[in-house]
Structure 1
């Protein structure tokens, strides 16, 4: 996993809520590999491989939209990518930290986002 790659797993809410969360991260990480689309899925994932322009990174997520239901988000990647994702999500949404775990080169953090 590169220093800027981030995997995001979302549960709760629907596809629209998952897309709202992904949009919030695009200003920091650029476009994901795919946007959540399946309206019948109970878990959505997105992988970000790059980094947005430095100017966009400061304002990431400001126009992401609102959630219709609580969403549990797990972000996994390098400690720097996880930190940046967590900061972006807590700036844009009402968020509660649900815990973190660390490996040798990766970190995982779970957040609960409220509408």
Structure 2
């Protein structure tokens, strides 16, 4: 791609990644989201702590992160158990968010699904 094509391509690539956590402890969800908020802008406030919802079924936590303006790297965080995380967004944005997670956790890719302009990645995060 030449410079003009790269610039046009960059304008069409979404910089937001939707992050979904399911079936994990509340404190682990908080650890993951707080690490991501250290590195990227979020649709959630810094003091927004995940809460367990009463009732049948698994609790699912979601948040959206803008990876276009990377902030400080997150310090390593402890998890009580491995956490499975689903990421969905543009190719570059998902890859950038994965790199952001690596400063705080051991990251293992469980699977990927690729679309025309977006991809979904499932990760397992563990304490480093």
TM-score w.r.t. length of structure 1: 0.78
Aligned residues: 110
Who is 2:35 aligned against?
A: 24
Secondary structure of 1:9 counterpart: strand
Does 70-79 or 35-44 show the bigger shift? 35-44
Which runs of no fewer than 5 residues in structure 1 stay unpaired? none
> Within the alignment, does 1:66 sit opposite 2:81 as a pair?
no
CA shift, 1:33, in A, is: 3.4
Question: Residue 15 of structure 2 contacts residue 68 of structure 2 at CA under 8 Å; is this kept in 1?
Answer: no
Cα distance in 1, alignment partners of residues 27 and 81 from structure 2: 10
Question: Residue 98 of structure 1 contacts residue 112 of structure 1 at CA under 8 Å; is this kept in 2?
Answer: yes
> Map of 1:58-97 to 2, 5 A cutoff?
59-62=72-75, 65-97=77-109
Does 12-21 or 33-42 show the bigger shift? 33-42
Who is 2:112 aligned against?
A: 100
When Rg is computed on C-alpha atoms for both structures, the one with the higher figure is 2
CA shift, 1:75, in A, is: 0.7
Which runs of no fewer than 5 residues in structure 2 stay unpaired? 1-11
Q: Give the superposed CA RMSD.
A: 2.4
Which of 64, 79, 103 is matched with 1:47 structurally? 64
TM-score w.r.t. length of structure 2: 0.71
CA gap 1:42/1:85 in 2 versus in 1, 3 angstroms: same
Cα distance in 1, alignment partners of residues 27 and 43 from structure 2: 15
Cα distance in 2, alignment partners of residues 89 and 29 from structure 1: 10
